[in-house]
Structure 1
Amino acid sequence: MNVIVIGGGVAGAASAIALRRLGMEVTVYEAYAEPAGQVGSFLSLASNGLRVLRALGVLEQVQQAGIDVPRQRMWSSSGRLLGDVPRGRLSGDELHSVTLMRGTLVEALRAQALAAGAVIVTGERMVDAVATEEGVRAVFASGRTAHASLLVGADGIWSATRSLLDPHAPTPEYAGLYSITGVAEGIETDPGAFNLTFARNGAFIHLAAPGGKVWWSAQVSCPEQPELGLTEEEWLRRLAGLYRREHLPSAILEATTELHRPTLMHRLDAVPVRHNDRIALLGDAGHPVGAGQGASMALEDALVLAQSLAAEPSVAEALSAYEAARSARIAKMVKAASANRDAKTAGPLARRMRDLMMPVGVRLFYEKATAWLYTYDSGELPTARTDGEPQVLSARL
């Protein structure tokens, strides 16, 4: 069975690993030579995502490439500790959250996909995809065409696959937040803790990184989409003004030695069509969630898709099973992500209520409220037959 994967990011590379492990022929088409460039943004993997990496046989490589972060601390704008909880897991779970640069994660997954036998083609942007009873044909801007039994759209929030699958699909909208990340030096920060400050003008995240550095991210509340063409000095001055009343974020900004380009944060209405008989969406292409779960949800998608293909007698039935397996969990995650985003744009009254109630709520309800998310186990990856062919889809491809 041949599979085309559009997009070489987290979702695309993970699906390539999973499908190659089943013995399928996989070609990944990536529009850029680098998956997103080393733009400085970092992401976290929670226990549910790490279990997927373990099932794919790549957990150790990713853990070695990132930072072990067992704790998360939440702070008010005044510096009051609102909560100290396990990061991306429940207490007692030995799978500690891992934080690493997005580009580093993609590079690690790409290397494993190549080692598994996937083909990665860069510089190719898909412009059309046509599903037929025999398979699917992808057309690229270069004039190249490719044919396969299945096309996996893992091409992110600005997915071309999504609009080809459904011309009426929603498009991303600015979410009232923008993000800037950077690196500071000379700041004392406890290692192993992911710090989230609910500041007056948006969240501020920081954690200790190798070499005595501090990685930070300012997620700025801004109802009107900002102009992004400022210089680094202008951005730092703007951030210094926005976070001037938060002591630690101010100190980190003052000690910044490296600043990365700002990015707008977007939301996407529920995608009504996430598959047909030959095409399926994975990751942000079908459900951007954020809230520290974007990469983990993409990894879950990749594994569940492979399991569905292994269990069902046809591609069409497998994609229906994949959607059925993922829809309720994704809907719940999208709702949680929306609440998370709202917390970062809260007004003065809502901030005061949060600062008052959060310490009690975290102590009494955190584990119960997050168990559905962090204890989820996508299961194992089926094995390929000894002749190299997958134990799947022997008929009605």
Structure 2
Amino acid sequence: MRRPWGAGLAVAALLVLTVMDLAQHYDVPVAAVLALAIARALSLSLSWLRPRAAVAVSLVTTAVMAALTTPVSPSEPWPWGTTSAFGHSLVIAIAGARGLGRRELVGWWVATQALGVVALGLAPDRGSWPGLITMTVLSGVAVVVGDLLRSRAETNRRLVEQETISKAERAERERLQERARIARELHDVVAHHLSVVVVRADSAPHRLPDVPDAVREEFTGIANEARASLTEMRRVLRLLREPVEQPETGPQPGLDQVAELVESTRRAGADVRLVSDVPTGLDPAVELTAYRVVQEGLSNAVRHALHAPVEVAVRRTAGELEVIVQNEKPPRPVVPAPGSGHGLTGMRERVALVDGTVSTGPTPEGGYLVRAFIPVAEEVESADHGLGG
């Protein structure tokens, strides 16, 4: 709760308004007025801390209030007084924003309407059927508002998590790029000179006339030592070019978790579909890269086009993996959520590390397309080729 004073003010205002509403418009004992007002305020105060309990307390309070009150005139609303309708709807909206799911909110809404129908059926002389309309509309609006606030909060949380992951991955990419640079330097300079030593030592007995046997053996020893150094150089290059295994708190995501990623994004309020069968069993680095492309593409679509339909496709073609995240034109203007601007750049860098390519940009229909191609052919140890000169 970011502003506790605002919540306290709302609870106090609801307490006072409930007392005034019951005392002026309904025939009810003073003690019952105070008890019902306190219960109404309690349900609102609970909505920030215990949303599910708050809705239950509010519904029970509303039912008891309808049972104990009798309108002083036919013009007064019953079974739902003004403070009952507004107070209960406010509790539903806050409970939704604090985490209650859409189905549960709808269930509470249905229970509220059923309670009103039962109340009018038991005491038709106290109110009329049109009196149920106010609660029906207000609580329905509360369900929609609560669900939208929950979806927005979950989306913002996911964006923050993505930003944190991106920062860690950028640091890891910088480290890997430095290791790759060192590997290139070793390959281009040291390995080249060792290869020259091998060639010259092997060819010296044939190029030079009258080479003594002792010198010939010395040249052979030099060539063998140089070859051994090249073998060690190849091992060092492989270590530099392969990521160092770090202790993980959990397994790295792969393509088998793309469907779960799409589903979690859908639960956050986005209209996203997986339109292809996702291949599995590929190299873990390729699968992790493809997963991150989908993750960043969905994050970008949610940030800039929350209500636009999004399609995700991961297909394996001849020798490469195609990853597509495409959203349609948003049905209405969207105010983009704040971001660092490094997401797409980081995605390109990650794909480049596995020799892939990424293209991004708007579509002719007004949407946005992210497409990546990642090689999936059998890995070839590049350090073993070309080191001999």
Greater RCO structure (CA 8 Å; 6+ sep) = 1
Larger Rg: 1 or 2? Answer: 2
Same fold (TM over 0.5): no
TM-score (norm: length of structure 1)? 0.21
TM-score (norm 2): 0.21
Which structure's residues are more often helix, by fraction?
2
